[in-house]
Structure 1
């Protein structure tokens, strides 16, 4: 949720304090080629080991956990960066011109710079592993109840939790770690298909529809429910492949039967350019009704296998 530390420093009044070069640089961390080769080798060996054994059924859980190791490391470094940045702000606010104060300020700046570089390194490792996860299991990797920022890649693969997104909007400022662009809401439920061919057709229709919407909204940010199964999973995988940032609004299960309707309200509160609707339940139907009432364009694909229901009516009329 923060901008780069260098950008933050530029916005602070450092008076006569001179910020020297970072105590670490990118050359102090593993180069990308080494990261890719090592993570790919670990991934390949791990799944070669469990393939054909009783553990193969747990392969996806193992893959998720492997990616999560890097994600947690990056999150810890991000927290250290936030804490050090707050300390820098506090020290600047209480500047007294003493050598002791200048030393403390320099120490906190170095601490923040070290944490930032380490965070970026771990995020790169996570993104390499997340790409392998996508190729292995066909779905976008997402953490449990948290956001997936990628500060080193201009957020092209950011996956942000809805509460983080709305909190930043409520603060009346867009933070650099939040995807900027035109929101497009995607909604669809879990559907059963009579055959693998039907399931493939449905998936192709989801991807083709989203491709057409992206043609109209090149800066789109995909808003969806974050379900790890069904249509949301297909949409998340599409976004990952197309490097489209995502914001996920998970159900607040504490609300019981009202959870789905509350999620509708939160998703529509971001003022989406479009609502893309695939087959779902009554909560999804209510989302479509509310979107139309707000004059939001609805891309309706609630027909058989994710088709336009108007086309079906025309053929049967």
Structure 2
């Protein structure tokens, strides 16, 4: 018979053990070189294990999950930061000048700063892993839902005023979620090709076209549908490689057949400088028509393999 868990505990010397909350005032985090080298080595060893085995076809799914581990960790720290920020608001609203109140406020500010520092560290790790994912799969990594954003590293002071912290927190969030620059809409559907050479030529045409558009609009941010396959995936990979911000409008499935046209309206409401159109379906055709009606310049690449129709 196995001893019960309580019996096993009773045989342990727990006199020196204390259980308390995790420390929140630690300031040491892995340096960027350590992050890049360690995660690169882990990635290399992990996926070498799948090579030439029956699991090789599942490697991309595993790779996505590895990056997602760090994304989820960063999201949890972001939630902790939000909770700490709310506590700071409550304490500021109920300030009575007492020493106890001041001590509680200082502790909450430290907790918020620690959560933010941890969030930034996990975001840095996620971005390192996302770059490895891109090299491994040729596609940019994105979460199943929500946004993938990287916050600025401005809040690194050990002690700052509570009101200043809340203002800076709101400003960081605004900058993280709203791209700055000139919007350029990209559209295209899923294609099938007769050969790998044709597929490669199509991808090269997307990248070459977007490079030319970026030369004309250096501060562009790319607006697209966020499809995980086809033209959107290639455009997203280009944006990640070129460090261009992306704004994605996924389909609202509740709208049924109307979803694609509603997305067109949302993207065109940004008043983009260009609409870059590659072969697609009727929704793409409608986007081109509506863009021209608004006098938005259309870069038409709906010819064979993503070439200009007149070429």
TM-score (norm 2): 0.83
Compared CA separation, residues 174 and 41, structure 1 to 2 (3 A): closer
CA distance in 2, matches of 1:126, 1:196: 31
Alignment: residue pair count? 270
Structure 1 partner of 2:193: 193
Q: CA deviation at 1:211?
A: 0.6
SS of residue in 1 equivalent to 2:221? strand
Structure 2 partner of 1:82: 82
CA distance in 1, matches of 2:175, 2:25: 24
SS of residue in 2 equivalent to 1:238? helix
SS of residue in 2 equivalent to 1:30? coil
Structure 2 partner of 1:53: 53
CA distance in 1, matches of 2:83, 2:286: 43
Moved over 4 A (4+): none
For the aligned residue pairs, the C-alpha RMSD in angstroms reads 1.7
Structure 2 partner of 1:42: 42
Structure 2 partner of 1:210: 210
SS of residue in 2 equivalent to 1:194? coil
SS of residue in 1 equivalent to 2:174? coil
CA distance in 1, matches of 2:222, 2:265: 16
Any idea what the Cα deviations from partners look like across 1:235-279, whole Å, max 9, x if unmatched?
001001100011111111222111111111111122211111000
Maintained 8 Å contact 1:182/1:273:
yes
What 5-or-longer segments of structure 1 have no aligned partner? 1-21, 155-172, 313-317
Q: CA deviation at 1:85?
A: 1.5
TM-score (norm 1): 0.82
Compared CA separation, residues 207 and 62, structure 1 to 2 (3 A): same
Find the structure with the greater CA-based Rg: 2
Does 2:233 match 1:258?
no
Any idea what the Cα deviations from partners look like across 1:148-172, whole Å, max 9, x if unmatched?
1112479xxxxxxxxxxxxxxxxxx
CA distance in 1, matches of 2:108, 2:274: 45
Q: CA deviation at 1:104?
A: 1.6
CA distance in 1, matches of 2:84, 2:51: 45
Any idea what the Cα deviations from partners look like across 1:60-85, whole Å, max 9, x if unmatched?
00000000000000011011112211
What 5-or-longer segments of structure 2 have no aligned partner? 1-23, 155-171
Structure 2 partner of 1:134: 134
Map 1:1-317 to 2 at 5 A: 23-25=25-27, 28-152=28-152, 175-178=174-177, 179-309=179-309, 311-312=310-311
Q: CA deviation at 1:86?
A: 2.2
CA distance in 2, matches of 1:241, 1:214: 13
SS of residue in 1 equivalent to 2:186? strand
SS of residue in 1 equivalent to 2:119? helix
Maintained 8 Å contact 2:120/2:153:
no
CA distance in 2, matches of 1:63, 1:253: 28
Maintained 8 Å contact 1:274/1:297:
yes
Q: CA deviation at 1:91?
A: 1.9
CA distance in 1, matches of 2:205, 2:184: 17
Q: CA deviation at 1:174?
A: 8.3
Compared CA separation, residues 261 and 174, structure 1 to 2 (3 A): farther
Larger mean CA deviation between 193-202 and 241-250 belongs to 193-202
Q: CA deviation at 1:89?
A: 2.3
Maintained 8 Å contact 2:184/2:275:
yes
Compared CA separation, residues 229 and 208, structure 1 to 2 (3 A): same
